[in-house]
Amino acid sequence: MKNLLVAQSGGPTAAINATLAGVCKKAFISGKVDKIYGGINGIKGILSKNIKEIGPMLSSVESMSMLVHTPAAALGTCRYKLDNKPETFQKIIEIFREFEIAYFVYIGGNDSMDTVNKLSIYCAENGIKDIQIMGAPKTIDNDLCVTDHTPGFGTAAKYIGITMAEVMLDVRVYDSKQAVIVETMGRNTGWLAASACLSGLNGGPTPHLIYLPEVPFDDEVFIADVKAIYETSSYAVIVVSEGVKDANGTYLCEKETTKGTDSFGHKFLSGAGKYLEQLISTHIGCKVRTIDFSLMQRCSGHIASLCDLEESMMLGEAALDRALNGISGEMPYIERLTSEPYTFRIGTTSVSNIANFEKKVPIEWLNDKKNNVNEKMLEYLKPLVQGEANVKYKNGIPQHIKLY
């Protein structure tokens, strides 16, 4: 028997199941895979043999389509960094042998690629040639190196762009002075915050200010920048990444938490947006509201980018394809050839080029004052949000699949 094991890891996205569907589709059509197993809750679940046969549940076009359009990780996930003990790797291989696993595809971000890296090195060093281990990329953060962008990012960017466009319309309706602050995810990189500029793709308004973790934040400059907005507008819309830091490298959210305590004596953990809200309240004094896009930015499958879902699926197919061809320790990625028209090809790279590295937003894609993005960012983002997913609704609500 030559069985496939596939698992998901790290923060969920609205496209990670499209990659899973791609892996399974390739398994079905290759004729080289006997059984498809899903590892529940990633490598952590695999270590406790939480492994389930999923092939039969995905044998119809309907179930496969539903999987593509179901957000979050249909196999569950984990945040678990493999230790370096040989007995851990030995245990994993023993479990693989028990389930007759010949191919293991692990879908995740840079931590997950670290797992793929270690496991494939262990196999190589121990002469294990009949188990191929491949990674498949995933993260809304878009912070993986080598690949032009990551699966899941396009949908998150589309959610942020559309929601931003709608929020801009909502903010505009009153004629009184106000500010709205939108906080996005992105602990170390500003790709998600930058995506807010997509609200302007059809000529609509864009946020006045966008702050990324790549640029040190200065309170005084911020207050001056906001005051300048009110010279021509009754409202100010400001986007901030959760990971923005000051010149000393202190996260804005941590600055706040050291000061405030709640009724139970806890320090407040409110975030970068709330920090900006307080700066505006104190120094400008108008009505101000903070919106956190929270989990919605990573799970809004109903608004998925068709481009993202298609690419995510292709990368899953490519990962298993390489494994079927005897390749191990690699990850397929997207190489952009042209932006307009958008063309790309899928390559593969050693996971050692991915694991533990991080791709920042290029500073040349920001405006001169570094408080917003420029047209280079929009050119980069535009192809990634094209097309609307064909979500199947029933009773007014999208249909989702449950694998475990």
Closer residue to a second copy in complex, CB, 292/311? 292
Nearest to 119 by CA among 138, 8, 128, 101: 128
Nearer to a second copy, 129 or 289 (CB): 289
- Binding test (CB under 8 A) with a second copy, winner from 70, 139, 206, 241: 70
Cβ proximity to a second copy: between 3 and 8 the closer is 8
User: Which residue from 84, 85, 87, 202 is in contact with a second copy, where contact means CB under 8 A?
Assistant: 202
Measure the CA–CA gap between 146 and 142, rounded to whole angstroms. 11
Beta-carbon contacts of residue 109 (< 8 Å; ≥ 6 apart): 9, 10, 11, 137, 138, 139, 141, 143, 144, 150
Interacting residue with a second copy among 284, 291, 327, 346 (CB under 8 A): 291
Does residue number 71 form part of the binding site for a second copy (CB under 8 A)?
yes
Residues 204-243: x where in contact with a second copy by CB under 8 A, - otherwise, as a string: x---------------------------------------
Q: Does 198 bind a second copy (CB under 8 A)?
A: yes
Structural contact between residues 4 and 103, judged by C-beta atoms closer than 8 angstroms: yes
- The contacts of residue 331 (CB under 8 Å, 6+ apart) are 113, 116, 134, 135, 136, 137, 319, 348, 349, 350, 351, 354
What part of residues 14-33 is at the interface with a second copy (CB under 8 A)? 14
Q: How many residues bind a second copy (CB under 8 A)?
A: 77
Cβ atoms 301, 399 nearer than 8 A: no
- Closest approach of a second copy to the CB of residue 122, in Å: 25
Which of 250, 281, 343, 356 lies at the binding interface for a second copy (CB under 8 A)? Answer: 281
Minimum distance from residue 260 beta carbon to a second copy (Å): 4
What's the burial of 285, exposed, middle or buried (CB within 10 Å: 0-12/13-18/19+)? exposed
Distance set, CA 353 to CA 27, 156, 349, 358 (Å): 26, 24, 7, 10
Give the shortest CB-30-to-a second copy separation in angstroms.
28
Give, as ranges, the residues between 356 and 385 that touch a second copy (CB under 8 A). Answer: 382, 385
Of the ranges 189-197, 323-331, 342-350, 395-403, which one interacts with a second copy (CB under 8 A)?
A: 395-403
Which CB, 227 or 287, lies closer to a second copy?
A: 287
Minimum CB–partner distance for residue 61 and a second copy (Å): 19
Strand ranges inside 30-153, DSSP E: 36-39, 51-53, 101-108, 132-137
Q: Is 111 a catalytic residue?
A: no
**SS3 at position 136:** strand
Q: Which of residues 298-337 bind a second copy (CB under 8 A)?
A: 298-303, 305, 307
Report the alpha-carbon distance of residue 53 to residue 5 in Å, rounded.
Answer: 9
Pick out residues in 238-277 that bind a second copy (CB under 8 A): 255-256, 258-264, 266, 268, 270, 274
CB neighbourhood size of 62 (10 A)? 11
Work out how close the CB of 353 gets to a second copy at its nearest, in angstroms, rounded to a whole number: 27
Amino acid letter for position 277 = E
- Among 12, 38, 108, 329, contact with a second copy (rule: CB under 8 A): 12
Give the span between the Cα atoms of 276 and 217, in whole angstroms.
11
Nearer to a second copy, 1 or 173 (CB): 173
- Edge-to-edge strands of the sheet including 209-211? 209-211, 235-241, 178-184, 287-292
Quote the least distance from Cβ 244 to a second copy, whole Å: 16
DSSP 325: T
Tokens 């097309």 label which residue? 387
Footprint of a second copy on 72-131 (CB under 8 A): 72-73, 76-79
Kindly tell me which of 44 and 322 has the beta carbon lying closer to a second copy.
Answer: 44
* Active-site residue (options: 141, 143, 308, 321): 141
Q: 40 with 50: CB under 8 angstroms?
A: yes
* Complex with a second copy: residue 2 or 283, whichever CB lies closer: 283
User: Which of 294, 343, 367, 390 touches a second copy (CB under 8 A)?
Assistant: 294
Tell me whether residue 102 or residue 107 sits nearer to a second copy (CB atom).
Answer: 107
Residues 6 or more apart whose Cβ sits within 8 Å of residue 172? 205, 235
Active site residues: 141
